Structure 1
Amino acid sequence: MESRDVPLTEGGLPLPPSPAPDWALFLDVDGCLLDFAQHPSQVVVPVHLQRDIVRLSDLLGGALALVSGRSLESIDEMFGELRALPAAGMHGLERREPDGRRTFPPIAPQALDGVYAEARQLAMSHPGAIIERKGPNLALHWRAAPEARDALRAFAAAALRVLPDYRAQGGDMVLELRPGGSSPDKGTAVEGFMAQAPFRGRTPVFVGDDLTDEHAFSIVNACEGFSVLVGDRHPSAARWRLPNPAAVRDWLARATLGAHDGVHA
C-alpha cells in the first residue's frame, strides 16, 4: 500500500487513492472536513458536504464514521443529515455505535467548575482567547489570540494540580484538559468501530489534521490501512496527504461522482 508511483504532494507524501469498496472510512471534522474559524461555533458546513458523506457511506455499506474532538451534540448540530451515522466525540470519550447505542463520557469532577471559571477570567485578559467546556473536557483556544498561548499553557499546568486524574492534550492552537489514565482517544475509537459490523474486516482509513489524530494514524498503519494527513504538520505517522480541507471535500465528492464504477472516482 506504500507505492510511491503516485503523485506526491508538496509535503512529500503521496496523494491517497480514491475510496475503495472495502474501506472503512473515518473522518475528522475541524481542519479536515471543515476549514477552521476563529471560534468553533463559526465554522461553515458547505451545502454539498453532507450529501456527499451520506452517499459515500451508502457506497461503503455504512462503514463511515466521524471522529472528532467536538461533542456528539455539536457534531449533530452542524451535520443534521448525518445524525444516523456512527460517530465518536470528545476524542473518543463518547461514541454513537452503528446500531445507535451511545457510549457516554465520564462525569466531570466538581473541581472542573472552578477551573472553568478561572479560565474564563484569564481569557478576559486576552481578547480572542476562547474557553470551551465539553462535558468533562476543557479546551483552551488561542487561534484568535496567539499572544495568549503561554498564559493558557501555564494555566493548564497549574490546573492539573487540582485535577490530578487529568492530562493536557495538545492540538492545533488549543490545549485540552481531559481525563487521563487509560481514557479513550481517537485510536481506541477506531479500534472500537473496527471490531463490529459494518466496519469489521475492512481496510481502515483515517483522515485528519491534528496531533490528536496521531493515535488513529498509528492504529490504521498497524492494520495496513491508509493514514491521511490534512495539511503539512510535521512530524506525523501519516503516510498519505491531502493539502487542505477543500482538497478533502473534493476527494470525497469525486468518489461519489464515480459511483457508477463501484466507488472509485
Structure 2
Amino acid sequence: MRQSPEASPLIPSPAATALPPPPALPANAALFLDVDGCLLPFAPRPDAVDVPPALVARLTALQRALGGALALVSGRNLATLDALFAPGAFTAAGLHGVERRRAGDTGGTGVVPAALPKVRDAGLALIATHPGALLEDKGAAIALHWRMTPEPHKDATAAALRAFAEHALTQLPGYQLQPGDHVIELRPHHADKGSAILAFLEEPPFAGRVPVFAGDDLTDEPGFSAVNAHGGISVLVGDRAGSAARHRLPDTAAVHRWLGVPERTPETPA
C-alpha cells in the first residue's frame, strides 16, 4: 500500500475563508467523505449523533450513480459506521484508515497490544475524576473526549487527558497520538486517511476516477494531500486555517446541499 504524501503539493491556505466552494461533483468522481464534522454535526457524545434517513438515501443514490465509487473515511470503526448508516451499506475506512473494507468485504485491525485493556481501564478511572470527560472505546483505538466538560474546567481536563495519553503511548508499541477537536486518540500508526484513500484509488471501482474528499479536522489533512497529488478536489468543512484543502464549505448543512441531500422540514421524519 502506498503511503500518503507528507505534504500537500500546494502551500496550505492561510485563511480557510479565502478558499472557493467546491465545484459540482464530476460524473466520474471517486467520492470520499469524512463523517463527524462533515456529514454529521458534532454531538455532545459520539453515540448521540443524528443520521437523517434522507442522508443515507442520498449517499446510497450517489453510490449507485458513481458505480460504487463512494467510501466513508472516518475516525470511527467500521462496526459503528455500519450501525450509524444502516440500512445503507458503504465501502469504508475506519479508525483513520487503520481499518479498510472494500465493497462486499470485511476489514480488520489485526492484533492489538496486550496493554491496551489496562490503558483503557486506567483511562476510565481518570475520566471518572473529570466531570464531562468521556472515553470512547473503538476496539483497536481509544479516544479521550472533553467536549462536554464545563468551561471553567475544560483546559485542565484537556491537559490531564493529553498527559495521560502521552504516558500511555509508552506502553503501546506501534501506536501514535492523534489529536482532534476536543479529543486525543491513541491509535495504531501504520495507516492514515491519506493512505486509505490512495489504496482505494488503486482498486475498482475507484481507479481511474477523479478523487474528491471532504473533511473537517486535522486527521483529514493526509486525505487532502493524497487527493491534491492526484489532481482531485479537496474540501475543508469549517473555518480552520492552514489546511491543504483547496476548497471550503462552511458547515455540514452546506455539505448536504453540495451532495444534494433534501433539506429536512418540520414534516420530515428525523
TM-score (norm 2): 0.87
Distance 1:56 1:164 in 2: 40
Q: CA offset at residue 202 of structure 1?
A: 0.4
Contact 1:94–1:102 (CA under 8 A) maintained in structure 2: no
> Where in structure 2 are the equivalents of 1:210-221 lying within 5 Å?
210-221=217-228
Residue in 2 that maps onto 1:3: none
User: What do residues 78-132 of structure 1 show as CA deviations (whole Å, max 9, x unaligned)?
Assistant: 100222x21111111112202x122310222121111111111110111111111
Query: 2:10 maps to which residue?
Result: none
Q: Is residue 95 of structure 2 the alignment partner of residue 90 of structure 1?
A: yes
Alignment root-mean-square deviation, CA? 1.5
Identity of aligned residues (%): 52
**Residues 214 and 234 of structure 2 are in contact (CA less than 8 Å); yes or no, is this contact kept in structure 1?**
yes
Query: What is the CA–CA distance in structure 1 between the aligned matches of 2:259 and 2:174, rounded to whole Å?
Result: 39
Aligned to 1:126: 130
Counterpart position of 1:262: none
The correspondence for 1:204, drawn from 208, 211, 217, is: 211
Partners of 2:77 and 2:174 in 1: how far apart? 21
Alignment match, 2:174:
165
Q: Report the CA distance between 1:60 and its aligned residue.
A: 1.1
Q: How many residues are aligned here?
A: 243
TM-score normalised by the chain length of structure 1: 0.88
Asked if residue 13 in structure 1 is aligned to residue 19 in structure 2, the reply is yes
Higher relative contact order (CA 8 A, sep 6+): 2
Q: Residues of 2 paired with 1:107 and 1:10: CA distance? A: 39
* Residue of structure 1 aligned with 2:140, choices 136, 139, 142: 136
Query: 2:119 matched to which residue of 1?
Result: 115
2: distance between equivalents of 1:58 and 1:103? 22
Structure 2 counterparts to residues 43-192 of structure 1, below 5 A: 43-83=49-89, 85-98=90-103, 100-145=104-149, 146-147=154-155, 148-180=157-189, 183-192=190-199
Shift of 1:47: 2.4
**Could you give the per-residue CA deviations for residues 26-57 of structure 1, whole angstroms, max 9, x where no partner exists?**
00000000000010000001221011111111
Partner-residue secondary structure (3-state), 2:17: coil
